[in-house]
C-alpha cells in the first residue's frame, strides 16, 4: 500500500476501498505510516469527507486495532451512553445510578476531559479515594452486585483512535463528521455494550455548530452501530449554553448529587430524563417513553437513585459520605464574584468560552498531560434569557491559583452578549434519531 497514493486520491475526492483503509489503519497503528502522512490524509478527509462505506471501514479498522470486550456473563441488556462533548454536562454521573436503579445494567467506560469539555473520570476522581481503574473481573462482579460500574479506558480499546485523535487534536481536523462518527463508534462498539444512547450536542459549546450537521452525525453513528449489531439511538440536545450551572470537577459532582436528590437545574434534569428514558426503552425495560420517564422521576423523588449513587461510590472505594456532606469534596480556597459589565438580557452565551475559562482556572487540560485542579471551576448564576443589572453577579469563580484569573475573567465575559431584548427560546432536546 502506498500512503502517498491514498493521500493523493483522497485529496482529489475519490473513494478508497475498505481494504485500503483497513491496511492504512493497521500500518499507522504499527508505526509504519508516519504522523506527517496521516496528518495530510486527515486534512484531505476534512475537506473531501468519507462516504458511508469508507466510514464503516475506518470504524471497523479502529475496532480491530485493539481488544473487544464482551459482557455476556452479565445478565440483561447492558446499556451505555455517550456524549459528543459539552460544558457543564454532568449527565453520566446522574444517569449511571438512575438507570441502574431502574434495574438496567450500566457498564460504562468514560474518558477524561480535554480542552473546554469535561470528562466523567476526572469528576469521579474528585470523590475522595474513588478508584477509576477497574479490572474486567471487578467490573463484572460489581455490575452483577449493584447494577453499574464506571471505569477509565485501558488504552487497549481502539488504540488506533487514541493515536488518530491525538493527531487530529493538533492538526485542526477534529471537526469532521465521518472522523467523529468513526472515533466515537469504534470506542463504543469495542467497549461491548448491547445498547448505546448517544447524546449529540449542537451549539456554541459543541463540535457540531448547527442542527443539520448534528443530524448528519447522529444518523451516521446510529447506522454504524446498527450495522455492527447494536441497539443505538441518538438524542440531539442543545449546547448553546452550559447544560448545568457548575463547570469544574468537584462542583459538577455536587450538582449531580442535587439532581439525584430530586433538585438541581431544570435543564440538566430534563436532559437526564430524556436520555435515561431512551436507555430504558433500548434495554426493553419499558415500552413507552411516558412510562420510562415516570419511573425515573419516581426513582429521583423517592431517593432510590441517590441510594444507588452511594452504593456505587462505596463499591469503587470512594467515600459515600460525600453524598450527604458534599463539603467533603475538594473545595477551592477563594471565591471570586464575576459581575455583569452592563445591564441587559443574556441573548447569547459562547459555551465553549465558558469551558475555556474554567480550563484556565485549572479545571481542564490544555494538553493531554496537563495536571488539573479538581476543586476549581465556575458556578454560574444566570442563564440564557435572564435579565442582569450591571454589577450583578454572572458567576462565582472557585479559585486556588490566581495566576490566570484575569485571563479567565476576560475569556468568561467574552462569552456573554447582553441585549435589550430577550433571545428566542430554543428547544433543549431537538430530535431523537433512531
Ligand atoms: N469525541 C470522540 O470520542 N471523538 C471525536 O472525534 C470527537 C468527540
Residue 185 burial (CB < 10 Å; 0-12/13-18/19+)?
buried
Q: What is the pLDDT of residue 365?
A: 84
ipTM: 0.96
DSSP state of 208: B
Instruction: Single out the residue of 342, 345, 350, 352 nearest to residue 423, CA to CA.
Output: 345
Question: Is 179's pLDDT higher than 90?
Answer: yes
Residue 1: band (very low, low, confident or very high) from pLDDT cuts 50, 70, 90? low
pLDDT in tens, 53-89: 999 999 999 999 999 999 999 999 999 999 998 999 9
Cα 251 to Cα 246, 288, 372, distances in angstroms: 6, 34, 14
CATH class of the structural domain 3-49: mainly alpha
pLDDT in tens, 264-307: 999 999 999 999 999 999 999 999 999 999 999 999 999 999 99
Q: What is the pLDDT of residue 112?
A: 84
Mean pLDDT over each residue of the chain, to the nearest integer = 96
Question: Is 114's pLDDT higher than 80?
Answer: no
**What span, in angstroms and rounded, lies between the C-alpha atoms of 244 and 272?**
11
Q: What is the pLDDT of residue 369?
A: 76
pLDDT in tens, 128-155: 999 999 999 999 999 999 999 999 987 8
**Contact between 304 and 258 (Cβ < 8 Å):** no
Pocket, ligand 1, Cβ cutoff 6 A: 84-85, 165, 174, 179-180, 183-184, 207
Verify whether residue 183 is a known catalytic residue: yes
Instruction: Decide if domain 79-323 falls under CATH 3.40.50.10800.
Output: no
Give 135-161 as a DSSP string. -HHHHHHHHHHHSEEEE---S-SSHHH
Verify whether residue 168 is a known catalytic residue: yes
User: Of all residues in the chain, what percent carry a pLDDT higher than 90?
Assistant: 92
Verify whether residue 82 is a known catalytic residue: yes
Instruction: Single out the residue of 234, 237, 182 nearest to residue 206, CA to CA.
Output: 237
Q: Break the chain into its structural domains and give their ranges.
A: 3-49, 79-323, 331-419
Cα–ligand 1 centroid distance for 207 (angstroms)? 9
DSSP state of 384: T
Residue nearest to atom 3 of ligand 1 (CA): 184
Verify whether residue 161 is a known catalytic residue: yes
**Ligand 1, residues 174, 191, 213, 368: which to mutate, most atoms within 8 A of Cβ?**
174
* CATH architecture designation of domain 331-419: Alpha-Beta Complex (3.90)
Buried b (16+ CB within 10 A) or exposed e, 414-432: ebbebeeeeeeeeeeebeb
Question: Is 44's pLDDT higher than 70?
Answer: yes
Place of cell 487497549: 156
Q: What is the pLDDT of residue 111?
A: 84
For the chain, report the end-to-end CA distance as a whole number of angstroms: 37
| Run of H or E residues at 83 | strand 79-83
| Intrachain domains 79-323 and 331-419 with the same fold | no
User: Of all residues in the chain, what percent carry a pLDDT higher than 70?
Assistant: 100
Instruction: Single out the residue of 410, 339, 335 nearest to residue 376, CA to CA.
Output: 335
Cα–ligand 1 centroid distance for 115 (angstroms)? 12
Amino acid at each position: 500500500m502506498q500512503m502517498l497514493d491514498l493521500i493523493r486520491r483522497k485529496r482529489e475526492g475519490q473513494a478508497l476501498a475498505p481494504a485500503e483503509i483497513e491496511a492504512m489503519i493497521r500500518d499507522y497503528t504499527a508505526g509504519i505510516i508516519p504522523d506527517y502522512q496521516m496528518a495530510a490524509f486527515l486534512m484531505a478527509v476534512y475537506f473531501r469527507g468519507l462516504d458511508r462505506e469508507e466510514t464503516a471501514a475506518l470504524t471497523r479498522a479502529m475496532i480491530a486495532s485493539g481488544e473487544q470486550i464482551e459482557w455476556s456473563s452479565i445478565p440483561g441488556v447492558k446499556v451505555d451512553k455517550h456524549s459528543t462533548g459539552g460544558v457543564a454536562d454532568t449527565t453520566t454521573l446522574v444517569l449511571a445510578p438512575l438507570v441502574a436503579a431502574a434495574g438496567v445494567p450500566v457498564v460504562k467506560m468514560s474518558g477524561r476531559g480535554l480542552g473546554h469539555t469535561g470528562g466523567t473520570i476526572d469528576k469521579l476522581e474528585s470523590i475522595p479515594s474513588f478508584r477509576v481503574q477497574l479490572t474486567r473481573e471487578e467490573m463484572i462482579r460489581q455490575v452483577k452486585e449493584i447494577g453499574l460500574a464506571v471505569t477509565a479506558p485501558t488504552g487497549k480499546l481502539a488504540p488506533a483512535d487514541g493515536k488518530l485523535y491525538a493527531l487530529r487534536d493538533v492538526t485542526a481536523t477534529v471537526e469532521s463528521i465521518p472522523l467523529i462518527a468513526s472515533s466515537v463508534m469504534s470506542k463504543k462498539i469495542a467497549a461491548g455494550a448491547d445498547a448505546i444512547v448517544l447524546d449529540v450536542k449542537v451549539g456554541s459549546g459543541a463540535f457540531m455548530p448547527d442542527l443539520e450537521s448534528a443530524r448528519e452525525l447522529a444518523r451516521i453513528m446510529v447506522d454504524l452501530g446498527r450495522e455492527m449489531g447494536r441497539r443505538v439511538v441518538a438524542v440531539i440536545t442543545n449546547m448553546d449554553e452550559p447544560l448545568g450551572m457548575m463547570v469544574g470537577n468537584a462542583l459538577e459532582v455536587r450538582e449531580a448529587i442535587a439532581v439525584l436528590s430530586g433538585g438541581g437545574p431544570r435543564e440538566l434534569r430534563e436532559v437526564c430524563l430524556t436520555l435515561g428514558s431512551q436507555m430504558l426503552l433500548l434495554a426493553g425495560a419499558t415500552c413507552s417513553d411516558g412510562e420510562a420517564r415516570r419511573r425515573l422521576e419516581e426513582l429521583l423523588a423517592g431517593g432510590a437513585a441517590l441510594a444507588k449513587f452511594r452504593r456505587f461510590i462505596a463499591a469503587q472505594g470512594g467515600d459515600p459520605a460525600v453524598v450527604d456532606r458534599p463539603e467533603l469534596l475538594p473545595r477551592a480556597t477563594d471565591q471570586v464574584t464575576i459581575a455583569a459589565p452592563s445591564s441587559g438580557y443574556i441573548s447569547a452565551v459562547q459555551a465553549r468560552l465558558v469551558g475555556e475559562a474554567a480550563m484556565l482556572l485549572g479545571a481542564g487540560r490544555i494538553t493531554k498531560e496537563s495536571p488539573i485542579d479538581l476543586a476549581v471551576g465556575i458556578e454560574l448564576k444566570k442563564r440564557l434569557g435572564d435579565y442582569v443589572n450591571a454589577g450583578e453577579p454572572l458567576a462565582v469563580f472557585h479559585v486556588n491559583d490566581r495566576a490566570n484569573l484575569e485571563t479567565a475573567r476576560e475569556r468568561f465575559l467574552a462569552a456573554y452578549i447582553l441585549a435589550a431584548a430577550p433571545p428566542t427560546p430554543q428547544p433543549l432536546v431537538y430530535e431523537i434519531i433512531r
